[in-house]
Amino acid sequence: MMEINEKYKVKITGQENSGQGVSKIDDMIVFVENGLPDDEGEVLITEIKKNYARGRMVSFNQTSSSKQEAPCPFYNECGGCDLQHQLYKDQLAFKEDKIKTALTRIGGFNNVLINKIIFDEQFYYRNKVTLKVDGEQLGFYKRNTNEIVEIDNCIISNEKINEIIKMLKTFVRHYNKNNFKSIMIRYSDALMISVDSRNDKLSSELVAFLINKISNIKSISLNNKIIYGENYIEEKIDNLTFKLSPTSFYQVNINVMKKLYCKTIEYVTKIENKTILDLYCGIGTISILLANHAKSVVGIEMVKSAVDNAIDNLAINGINNVMFIHGKVEKSLDLLEEETVDTIVMDPPRNGVDKKTLDTIIKINPQQIVYISCNPATLARDLKILSEHKYELVEVTPFDMFPQTNHVECVVLLYKKS
């Protein structure tokens, strides 16, 4: 019988969904932290469940050709990254295989065209981070805990954000007194800082410190209230401008996001003069980018601040053939069932599209669906439902939106079967 804190000889044969190594000991599957295919050595068992166990390598007889020394000194504790121990080219291969496996095993798709994964810079790409604070500690949570790993530099975050992290450590030490819970930094052409605190009376100290130490701050909020500047910053895509509020969702990797939107437009423009539904539309980025390629666009989003941003973004960019609806997608779609819709674009959260919405989409009967997903498993589940009714899966394009992590983004094109 396997026991916790005992060592066993293993060979890693694959990677599971989050990137951990997979091995077997006496027919029990063992997930090995930072293990890679072809690693061989001893694993220390740290957890045993009914159908699997977890462990970490403590010695090696052989190391994988994919293995590298993690470039971040905080990697072995910090929970922000999963794959820094793996060469980047092999991270990309892992993500392509992850998509193929999900489509085959969950969706039942065996001969789908999956394009080569599209990527950009592997470091310093994030335009937004949320730092956790506990007393004088500032950083990110340790893997699978609420303990904080103190950092002064994050190699997947924008270098401007790293400058601010160093300054914030000073502020936390001098002014915190266990008041702060988290600090969000978003960087574009200007800076937005949003603080979650147990004390609403820190406004003057916070503003004075930040504007004295950090240049180009446009927005500071404390507990969701603006205490300095505007309640938004702006981001540009080509010749369009988009407002972002502190709570608005926006992709953290601008360069790859632009590539993803280009592919989305390429798929959508295969049908001309169309009426488009943009589901889970956020601040309206995709709706507005598609406006010049459509007769009309309707975006649906449940977050009120995002819809407010979206409406502002229409005015800023002089767009007059797009409208936005505030509400849950599954309820708002019922109002549009009788409308003629040529194309549906949808970018749902990680849990995918609910069954009611999928049923309504099938009733709406668009010629074309473009599905943007950050979760291959729920994507495959939803595509299976659509394909069982009237839609053919044409192709999938993966994007490495989150290098050094196990996450992968996809854009999928479906057509109504003839």
Torsion, CA 334, CA 336, CA 340, CA 343, rounded to 10:
-80
Sheet holding 14-15, edge to edge: 7-11, 40-48, 52-62, 28-33, 21-25, 14-15
Which string of b and e fits 202-235 if b means at least 16 CB within 10 Å? bbeebbebbeeebeebbbbbbeeeebbbebbbeb
Strand partners, 184: 130, 194
Distance from CA of residue 252 to its chain's centroid? 7
Q: Are 336 and 360 in contact (CB under 8 A)?
A: no
Q: Are 342 and 64 in contact (CB under 8 A)?
A: no
Q: Are 410 and 99 in contact (CB under 8 A)?
A: yes
Pick the catalytic residue from 78, 281, 374, 410. 374
Rounded Cα distance between 79 and 251, Å, is 20
Active site residue 374: yes
Q: Are 320 and 297 in contact (CB under 8 A)?
A: no
Q: Are 384 and 401 in contact (CB under 8 A)?
A: no
Q: For residue 264, how many C-alpha atoms fall within 13 Å in the half-sphere facing its CB?
A: 28
Q: Do β-strands 391-399 and 113-114 pair in parallel, antiparallel, or remain unpaired? A: parallel
Give catalytic residue positions.
374
